[in-house]
Amino acid sequence: MAILHINENNFNSEVLESSKPVLLDFFATWCGPCKMLGQVLEQLDAETQDFKVVKIDIDENPELTRQWKVTTVPSIFFIKDGQVKDSAIGFLPKPVIEQKMKSL
């Protein structure tokens, strides 16, 4: 499964209405920690079908960024059944992300 890069048009269907838990990553192309996190998310996405990894570029989606009150990137939200169950700001190592996703 490939990481989905989404926008306002498909946010609800891909995140809030998803049948699988979602790891939602707000990122920026100019952000160093975002690039490091992106590599971890690509590994996780390749290794599991248990959840969906979705990325939103804050510069291309200012309205979603504002709605979700994202002021720092990377900002990660762990979503199940359309509800935020956990969140984190900044780079997280792979084992921490795996544990958070398993706890959903």
Active-site residue list: 31, 34
| Residues in contact with 8: Cβ distance below 8 Å, sequence separation at least 6, in sequence order | 61, 63, 64
- How far apart (Å, rounded) are the C-alpha atoms in residues 22 and 27? 15
